[in-house]
Amino acid sequence: MLSRLQFSAVADDGTSYGFDLDESPKACDVQDLETEDGRAGIDNRLGELLAVLPAAAVDVLPGIVQTSIDSGQLSMLIEAVGVQDFTTPQDTFLVLRMGKGAVLSGADGHILASQTFGLDPDPILGVADVASVDDGQLSAGPFEFEIRLTYLGNKIQFRLFRGIVQFTHDPVEDTISGTLGGIVPLDDVMELANMLGGDDADVRDILLQLLPEFVDAQTVPDGPCDGLSSAITFEGVRAFVFQD
């Protein structure tokens, strides 16, 4: 189960986590980024937007995501089918499911491992038919998946196209950590922005003005420029699924 999800902002030096999602150095007339260790071709336009927003605006999206996780409204379960040993090279496939049930946290606020969850009535968030394990790391994609949130009683769906997942397994702590990448349709981000109001009304107005200017990607190859590339870091703990 994913215990933390964080949309990654571009660092002050212009570097970023993420992946080459479009195999183009300058799709939609937007120059790609680099990782801290010099890997080129990184697509994370949403991270560039987060890097220039006021602090109050930057906190909105991470706050919504983490609150959904901690409250059990975003129980995202990742299964590497058939994988028992992450040190043995092997091919596999990845299934992302939506769980349901109360979430227990420790005194430190971290989600406890080895909890058992049910499944959402519509559980499948995505399936990566191509995935492999090598030297403790799993890589999967490209594939389409989604993240479902609940905000102020409203259900929100972030679709991620041309998605890639990479994570490392820590055998001592029995945890995973890694990065999700994908192209989020502009419409999905605008939908969330439009829901903001009250104390967040100023944030809403800033986002609605800036978001169209940060489009950098095509959700469908050779299609219109209609999405924002993104990089999402995550952590996860072992969980079990109860199925009727």
Query: Tell me: the pLDDT tens digits for 157-185?
Result: 889 999 999 999 999 999 999 999 999 99
Q: Write out the E strands in the chain.
A: 2-7, 33-34, 40-42, 75-80, 90-100, 115-134, 137-151, 154-170, 175-185, 227-237, 239-241
pLDDT band at 244 (very low <50, low <70, confident <90, very high): low
If you search the block for the tokens 């990479």, which residue do you land on?
166
Q: What is the mean pLDDT of residues 70-78?
A: 91
List residues bridging with 12 in a β-sheet.
Answer: none
Angle between helix axes 186-195 and 201-210 (nearest 10 degrees) is 160
Six-digit token string for 12:
């002050």
* Closest residue by Cα to residue 60 from 160, 200, 159, 185: 200
Q: Which of 37-41, 49-53, 182-186 has the lowest mean pLDDT?
A: 49-53
Using alpha carbons, select from 206, 116, 131 the residue that is nearest to residue 165: 131
Model pTM above 0.75: yes
Q: How far is CA 83 from the centre of its chain?
A: 22
Which residue is it, tokens 């989604």?
A: 146
Q: Which of 136, 131, 98, 130 is nearest to 1 (CA)?
A: 98
The proportion of the chain whose per-residue pLDDT surpasses 90, expressed as a percent, equals 66
